[in-house]
């Protein structure tokens, strides 16, 4: 397992707090999700300048289907709109879009937008934006294990999951858990929890998290360098 350099940082964000942000302002929860989509745009625009080359964001977990039907429907419409609205901008800015998670349960209107966004942005080389939608890490691990039939190396398992190690995980909204997000990939990730609600998250917050990441000594189970001096 290799320590990341400044130019190859793989970050992941659990975008939490949209509903509470809206409720605190007397707004419907979907207003918080709309504001959250703007926070995602800001984050995608600023990430490459901070050395982030891969960014995975938790947009909709498999457990989120338990939410009220009206909220789920609104979230799917918002996802559809985001993909259509941001596709050309991502092409222009060298951002590649990939969607991870199940697709068989997504509304039919969303699937063509996913395929169009992935196809149009496939050459993006400045940032790989991975949107986790209807995603469960435990389900992804089970699926990878079935495909490998109990054989293979750690590297083969990571390849079956479709991603490398995550270096930095940021969770907004004050909660302190991973919530079934990239459990294999985050084995040695640095975790940062912030009370900032996702709609308020900005470039300064992201920069602070990246700076905190670089201030930590990543040992991957080895002895601290100071102890060897």
Contacts of 59 (CB under 8 A, 6+ apart): 15, 79, 131, 132, 133
Could you confirm whether 64 is annotated as catalytic? yes
Integer Cα distance of 34 and 13 in angstroms: 17
DSSP one-letter string for 103-116:
-TTS-TTHHHHHHH
Q: How far is CA 119 from CA 93, 114, 145, 165, 188, in A?
A: 15, 9, 28, 24, 32
Catalytic residue, candidates 49, 64, 88, 125: 64
Catalytic residue, candidates 16, 134, 165, 167: 16
Name beta bridge partners: 170: 13, 192
Could you confirm whether 202 is annotated as catalytic? no
- Which residues are tagged catalytic? 16, 64
């Amino acid at each position: 397992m290799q320590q990341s350099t400044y130019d190859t940082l793989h970050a992941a964000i659990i975008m939490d707090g949209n509903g509470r942000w809206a409720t605190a302002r007397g707004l419907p929860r979907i207003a918080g999700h709309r504001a959250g989509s703007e926070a995602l745009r800001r984050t995608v625009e600023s990430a490459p300048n901070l050395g982030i080359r891969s960014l995975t964001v938790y947009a909709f977990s498999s457990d989120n289907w338990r939410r009220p039907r009206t909220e789920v429907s609104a979230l799917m419409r918002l996802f559809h709109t985001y993909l259509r609205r941001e596709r050309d901008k991502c092409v222009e800015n060298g951002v590649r879009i990939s969607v991870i998670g199940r697709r068989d349960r997504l509304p039919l209107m969303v699937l063509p937008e996913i395929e169009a966004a992935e196809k149009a942005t496939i050459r993006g080389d400045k940032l790989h934006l991975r949107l986790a939608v209807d995603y469960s890490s435990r389900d992804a691990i089970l699926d990878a294990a079935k495909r490998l039939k109990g054989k293979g190396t750690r590297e083969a398992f990571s390849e079956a999951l479709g991603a490398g190690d995550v270096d930095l995980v940021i969770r907004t909204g004050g909660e302190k858990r991973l919530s079934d997000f990239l459990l294999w990939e985050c084995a040695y990730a640095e975790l940062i929890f912030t009370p900032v609600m996702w709609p308020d998250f900005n470039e300064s917050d992201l920069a602070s998290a990246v700076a905190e990441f670089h201030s930590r000594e990543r040992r991957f189970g080895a002895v601290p360098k100071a102890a060897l001096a």
